[in-house]
């Protein structure tokens, strides 16, 4: 949950996607929005029940939406997901992530997560026909990196590298300008 809280907000993502078949290039720029959800949230409870997990052992979760950087419409449901944190123990360094729909296959999935001693989060997901692994870490509070692979029976299908920079929200920017104006006038 600490990782979700640190990730909350809007992120500008630059991604490079390397396909190992004839699929069109998906590299580009997008926006990722992360909202933290409390453990009592109806969506969190519902996903737990759908996955056969007691909602009482979930610590909360996060809602994720993503869309092309210059797309001003609301994100579609196929570009949104909710993750639920079900830690193995009180340290929260490993556990399960319940997801209402997978990124690789649009089905509910249960992933395993683990934090390394260096703070890198690794998420492993087994889908019906593929396996995914994502690693994510913060360089600073406002810059993070994600890398992922999707493997099929015959080998690696794609690799993705994303650098993500936290966006400054308009109200935060206004407060910063006001603080600087006050400081300059004294």
* Domain chopping of the chain, boundaries: 2-185
pLDDT at 20: 80
By the 8 A CB rule, do 33 and 164 touch? Answer: no
Look up the CATH superfamily of 2-185: Calycin beta-barrel core domain (2.40.128.20)
Sort 150 into a burial class: Cβ within 10 Å, 0-12 / 13-18 / 19+: buried
Low-confidence ranges of the chain (pLDDT < 70): 22, 71-79, 102-105
pLDDT at 26: 76
pLDDT at 19: 83
pLDDT at 164: 97
What is the rounded CA–CA span in Å between residue 102 and residue 32?
16
b or e along 50-81 (b: 16 or more beta carbons within 10 Å of the residue's beta carbon)? ebebebeebbbbbbbbbbeeeeeeebeeebbb
**DSSP H stretches of helix in the chain:** 2-7, 42-50, 170-185
pLDDT at 124: 96
Long-range contact pairs involving 142-150 (C-beta distance under 8 Å, separation at least 24): 142/166, 144/7, 144/11, 150/104
pLDDT at 155: 78
What is the dihedral angle through the alpha carbons of 138, 140, 141, 143, rounded to the nearest 10 degrees?
-70
């Amino acid at each position: 949950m600490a990782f979700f809280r640190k990730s909350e907000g809007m992120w500008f993502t630059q991604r490079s996607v390397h396909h190992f078949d004839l699929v069109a290039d998906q590299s580009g720029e997008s926006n990722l929005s992360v909202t933290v959800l409390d453990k009592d949230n109806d969506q969190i409870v519902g996903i737990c029940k759908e996955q056969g997990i007691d909602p009482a052992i979930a610590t909360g979760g996060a809602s994720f939406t993503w869309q092309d950087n210059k797309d001003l419409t609301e994100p579609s449901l196929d570009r949104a997901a909710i993750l639920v944190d079900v830690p193995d123990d009180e340290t929260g360094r490993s556990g399960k992530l319940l997801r209402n729909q997978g990124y690789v296959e649009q089905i509910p999935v249960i992933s395993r997560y683990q934090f390394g001693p260096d703070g890198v989060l690794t998420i492993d997901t087994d889908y019906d026909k593929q396996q995914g692994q994502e690693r994510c870490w913060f360089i600073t509070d406002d810059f993070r990196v994600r890398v992922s692979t999707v493997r099929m029976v015959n080998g690696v299908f794609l690799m993705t590298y994303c650098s993500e920079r936290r966006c400054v929200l308009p109200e935060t920017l206004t407060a910063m300008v006001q603080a600087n104006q006050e400081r300059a006038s004294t």
